[in-house]
């Protein structure tokens, strides 16, 4: 069994590092001329996935926009996951779950257990009930060769006060999360299976990622203002292990599949070292 880091390194080597989001925001449904209901969601999400998934290494559906439509929306999300798999694409399901004990274990089973309808290659999680609370998810992911991406220093302005706060260990809270993830990835090659979210819009030098040995999901590229040059200044010219995430900057070009693919291609060219 290959672990998530191995599969990610191999596929980004072939398809590039762009992580394309599938975010069926109501405003995007409007822009595509689709109704704000389950039928519009389905047409949007499946059209985007069919066009984009074969072109990228990682597809990131935002679960909340599917959950908003209840059972019908979850059924569409299941189809998105299946379509991406058929295209040979890794699915990073953006769910940002965070809880304790048996509840965290239940979330892990929903998204990472073999045979689960929504089983993804990796999920996002929140460590802000304590990094140790993530243990059921981290254990299940590793046992199944899957990945976990942990929120560390996010791109939203409201996060700075909490994530840059200095802990009892005299490092920032965000740096403590990075260090805990680094410890889990030690010895894994070519890349660990646990990663962190670090926004592309944060200040240079806020975090030391030198020991991480894992993926960095970098939201903020594109619609939130960060450029490819910003990414390279923040993470290094080669963007090693970095997954710049873009959704609206790509999805706004729909519903034409060719235009969606062209938007992906432009982003990939910008991100090349």
Enumerate the active-site residues.
96
- Angle ∠(79,269,248) on CA atoms, nearest 5: 45
> For residues 204 and 217, what is the distance between their CA atoms, to the nearest angstrom?
16
Cα distances (angstroms) measured from residue 123 to each of 64, 105, 141, 189, 197:
13, 14, 9, 20, 11
- Residues 6 or more apart from 210 whose CB is under 8 A from it? none
Residue 248 near residue 220, CB atoms below 8 Å:
no
């Amino acid at each position: 069994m290959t672990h998530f880091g191995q599969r990610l390194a191999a596929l980004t080597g072939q398809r590039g590092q762009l992580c394309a989001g599938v975010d069926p925001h109501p405003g995007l449904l409007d822009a595509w001329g689709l109704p704000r209901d389950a039928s519009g969601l389905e047409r949007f999400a499946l059209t985007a996935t069919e066009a984009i998934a074969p072109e990228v290494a990682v597809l990131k559906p935002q679960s909340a926009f599917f959950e908003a439509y209840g059972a019908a929306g979850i059924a569409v999300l299941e189809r998105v996951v299946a379509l991406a798999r058929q295209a040979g694409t890794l699915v990073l399901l953006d769910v940002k779950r965070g809880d304790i004990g048996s509840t965290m274990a239940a979330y892990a089973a929903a998204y990472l257990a073999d045979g689960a309808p929504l089983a993804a290659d990796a999920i996002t999680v929140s460590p802000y009930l304590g990094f140790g609370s993530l243990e059921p998810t981290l254990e299940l992911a590793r046992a199944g060769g899957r990945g976990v991406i942990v929120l560390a220093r996010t791109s939203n302005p409201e996060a700075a006060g909490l994530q840059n706060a200095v802990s009892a260990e005299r490092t920032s809270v965000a740096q403590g999360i990075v260090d805990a993830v680094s410890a889990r990835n030690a010895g894994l090659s070519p890349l660990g299976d646990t990663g962190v979210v670090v926004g592309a819009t944060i200040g240079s030098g806020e975090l030391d990622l030198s020991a991480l040995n894992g993926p960095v999901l970098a939201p903020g590229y594109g619609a939130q203002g960060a450029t490819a040059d910003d990414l390279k200044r923040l993470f290094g010219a080669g963007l090693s292990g970095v997954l710049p995430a873009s959704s609206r900057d790509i999805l706004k070009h729909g519903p034409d599949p060719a235009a969606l693919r062209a938007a992906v291609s432009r982003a990939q060219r910008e991100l090349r070292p």
